Chains A and B, each alone.
Chain A
């Protein structure tokens, strides 16, 4: 996998709605674990991804930032093969996801751990069984070994004392941490977070961000966080890609993005009301 070029022109540069989409990609010096190549996706008349070109570097915590309804969650679903592009390609470590047959797709998904927006815990299983589920499903490990792994992961996210609780007895933050523990239990190479901060108060958001950083420092791997929360991005991200109207405006290491001259990127990362992004 080659490091991406510095400038990636995105299709219809002349169109007024894409005037801020410079497609600049500041080099990271590491190969991309996840690549979107000219991806288009529409739901009826709603064109969500409009020629998305995106590379997310291996071994880093990347954030896909963008306003609501701009296609961030759709990106995650494309990465794990829950959705397929109408046009274009999605590569995971060089492997094209849309062209994988079902059995290889299920195999490829073992590389992933996914934290869904509300944790997506199975309502009929208690916390312990939820976290143990992937191990029972995909490994031949005995119950003793499973217990050791599950308890380690649950202690890591601070839920070691809540193993018998059912998902409906957990708060939003606890459900997310439980989902995080379940996402990590198979030691995945890539962990995806779909708006981990949604519905959380600022303090719990900060704590969850700290947890993501700590776990990444300990386990390594490629982490991709989808969010529109700038504070989370500043706290956690090593690499940022700004997504708007189904295309990347600009992407690169966090320090360089925070210094960007692009008016849209500057407005979005500083959270100001004046700039190219309005209420429309």
Chain B
């Protein structure tokens, strides 16, 4: 009885820790494989980069504008109008769009669209034994499949972060205009509060989000089992783990950024 309860509590935890350990090992192998010659993954890198770009840009555009206009835009504008400080909306958008919403929406949309596609693709190849065939033919799947996805997702999420910042700001401008606010004060408070730390922090955070998405989604795809149902399960798990991992990383990164750059806490 005690053993059964202990097993029910302990075994899933052990399984989870083993998976996390495997993903850490995969990260290490991916970085080593990316750096160590030869570099056969150039073509696949470009193709993955363009693939993600093509799939993600439009959904990201719509999501960023809608969420920025809807959440910090309308909600914050209502609140600031009550306080008679609608001109602070620009300053608030530094916090909302650059530091948080830009990277988080980018990672969510990239994970939901490109990450799931990667897991489904690799999962299907695993089920069809293509990955085994590659290994038997002397092709290292980490170097040839994981590395290009890892690098392309890092690059593309960093670029998309800038894209999301622009369209996030557009949502803020829209909110200011709808509330009858001239744009001069919006820009004034926006630029008064923006620092280069905010910008590189946002891009770096997004880049690491991309790395997490690539590792989790590749791992889940390459370890899929149980036929079509198993691939579906792997996709679902990949998305859940990516959101959890990126949410946790976001908290740690934000704390570290604020601790090492306390000046960005000061509202000007």
Contact = CB atoms under 8 A, between A and B. Distances in A.
A178 to B, nearest CB: 12
Contact of A138 (B124, B132, B135, B138): B138
B139 interface: yes
B138 A106 contact: yes
B63 to A, nearest CB: 30
Given A116-B133, A120-B130, A123-B125, 6 more contacts: A109-B137, A114-B136, A118-B129, A120-B128, A137-B139, A138-B137
Interface residues of A, number: 20
Interface string A122-159: 11000000000110011000000000000000000000
A72 to B, nearest CB: 15
Contacts of B138: 106-107, 109-110, 134, 137-138
B129 A80 contact: no
A199 to B, nearest CB: 13
A116 B125 CA distance: 13
B139 A116 contact: no
Interface of B is mostly: helix
Contacts of B130: 120-123
Contacts of A138: 137-138
A82 interface: yes
A77 interface: yes
Interface in B146-164: none
Nearest to B127: A118
A117 B132 CA distance: 11
Nearest to A122: B130
Contacts of A133: 137
A8 B99 CA distance: 69
Contact of B132 (A120, A123, A134, A137): A120
A123 B128 contact: yes
B132 to A, nearest CB: 6
Nearest to B138: A106
A185 to B, nearest CB: 10
Interface in B100-151: 124-125, 128-130, 132-140
Interface in B1-16: none
A137 B40 CA distance: 11
A44 B95 CA distance: 48
Residue among B124, B128, B139 with most chain A CB within 10 A: B128
Nearest to A112: B136
Nearest to A108: B138
A190 to B, nearest CB: 11
Contact of B133 (A106, A110, A120): A120
**Interface hub of B129, B136, B138, B139 (most chain A Cβ within 10 A):** B136
Contacts of A123: 124-125, 128, 130
A118 B132 CA distance: 12
Query: Most A CB atoms within 10 A — which of B128, B137, B140?
Result: B137
Contacts of B134: 122
A110 B138 CA distance: 7
A109 to B, nearest CB: 5
Contacts of A112: 136
6 contacts: A106-B138, A109-B138, A118-B128, A118-B129, A122-B130, A138-B137
B132 A82 contact: yes
A82 B135 contact: yes
A106 B134 CA distance: 11
B129 A117 contact: yes
Nearest to B225: A43
Interface in A76-130: 77, 80, 82, 106-107, 109-110, 112, 114, 116-118, 120-123
Contacts of B128: 118, 120, 123
B137 A134 contact: yes
